[in-house]
C-alpha cells in the first residue's frame, strides 16, 4: 500500500516519520517551530548532499577530459602531442619570426631655438654671450618659442635602436587626417600615438622583409615617408 505522504530524505540519518495532522495540531507553538526547523533543514541537507554528489560526478568527468586533453598536448609516450609537432614547425620558421621582433615607443621632445637658449644661458651666467643675443622675436611671421615634436623610437635589441621624427603634434594630426580623409584634430593623444605605432609597425615589417635590418636602420624613415608608403599600399599594408 502506498503511503499517503512520503519524503525523499527517508532513510537518511536523523529521519523522523511524518506526523499525522492530529498529532501536529496537538503540538505546542515551540514544538511546532522546532518541528518545522528540523523538517526544513533535514530537507536542505538531503538536497545539498545530492547536489554535491552531482558536482563530484561532473568533476570526475572534467578530470578525465583534462587528462585526455593533456595527453593530446604533451603526447602519451606512444603518440606525439601537439607540443612536439608545434616545436618541429617552430624550429623551421623561427628565423623569419625573429626578423619581425621589435618594439616601437612614441614620445615628444621639446626643442628650444638657439636664440632662446642663448638668452637663458646668459641670464643664468652660463656660456651665453651678449654678442650672440638678438632682438629677433619672430621668424617667418611666427613667434620664436620652444616647440615639441614627436619622436618614434624603434628598438630591436638592447643595443640596436633608432629614433625617427614625426613633426609637431599638429603636423602629425594633419598627416594622419589626410591619410584617412578624416578630422584627427580632436582625437585623444593616446589614440594618435597608437595609430602612429601601427603605421610604423607595418612599414617596418614590409621594408625589413624586402631588404634587411642593416639597410633599414640606415634610412631616416620620417613619418611623412611612412604616410606616403601607406597611401601607396592602401589596405594591403594591413597584411604586414
Q: What was the pLDDT predicted at 123?
A: 58
156: pLDDT confidence band, cut at 50, 70 and 90?
A: confident
User: Can you read off the three cell numbers belonging to residue 180?
Assistant: 584617412
| pLDDT tens digits, 33-89 | 888 888 888 888 888 988 999 999 999 999 999 999 999 999 887 888 999 988 888
Q: What was the pLDDT predicted at 29?
A: 83
* pTM exceeding the 0.85 threshold for the entire prediction: no
| pLDDT tens digits, 84-143 | 988 888 887 777 777 788 999 998 877 665 665 666 555 555 554 555 555 555 555 565
Q: Strand pairing partners for 155? A: 103, 161
Sign of the C-alpha dihedral computed for residues 110, 113, 117 and 119 taken in this order? negative
- Label each residue of 117-181 as H, E or C: HHHHHHHCCCCCCHHHCCCCCEECCEECCCEEEEEEEEECCCCCEEEEEEECHHHHHHHHHHHHC
Please report, for the chain, the start and end positions of each structural domain, with discontinuous segments joined by +: 1-72, 97-110+148-239
Q: What was the pLDDT predicted at 31?
A: 84
Average pLDDT over the chain, rounded to whole? 81
Amino acid at each position: 500500500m502506498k503511503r499517503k505522504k512520503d519524503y525523499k530524505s527517508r532513510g537518511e540519518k536523523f529521519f523522523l516519520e511524518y506526523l499525522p495532522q492530529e498529532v501536529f495540531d496537538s503540538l505546542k507553538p515551540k514544538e511546532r517551530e522546532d518541528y518545522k526547523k528540523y523538517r526544513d533543514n533535514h530537507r536542505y541537507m538531503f538536497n545539498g548532499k545530492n547536489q554535491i554528489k552531482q558536482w563530484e560526478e561532473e568533476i570526475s568527468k572534467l578530470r578525465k577530459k583534462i587528462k585526455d586533453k593533456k595527453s593530446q598536448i604533451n603526447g602519451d609516450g606512444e603518440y606525439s602531442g601537439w607540443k612536439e609537432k608545434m616545436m618541429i614547425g617552430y624550429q623551421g620558421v623561427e628565423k623569419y619570426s625573429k626578423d619581425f621582433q621589435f618594439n616601437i615607443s612614441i614620445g615628444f621632445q621639446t626643442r628650444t631655438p638657439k636664440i632662446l637658449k642663448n638668452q637663458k644661458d646668459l641670464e643664468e651666467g652660463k656660456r651665453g654671450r651678449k654678442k650672440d643675443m638678438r632682438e629677433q622675436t619672430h621668424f617667418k611671421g611666427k613667434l620664436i618659442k620652444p616647440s615639441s615634436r614627436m619622436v618614434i623610437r624603434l628598438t630591436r635589441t638592447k643595443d640596436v635602436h633608432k629614433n625617427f621624427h614625426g613633426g609637431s603634434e599638429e603636423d602629425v594630426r594633419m598627416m594622419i587626417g589626410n591619410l584617412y580623409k578624416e578630422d584627427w584634430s580632436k582625437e585623444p593623444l593616446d589614440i594618435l600615438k597608437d595609430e602612429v605605432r601601427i603605421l610604423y609597425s607595418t612599414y617596418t615589417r614590409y621594408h625589413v622583409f624586402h631588404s634587411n635590418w642593416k639597410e633599414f636602420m640606415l634610412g631616416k624613415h620620417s613619418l611623412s615617408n611612412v604616410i606616403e608608403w601607406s597611401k601607396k599600399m592602401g589596405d594591403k599594408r594591413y597584411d604586414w
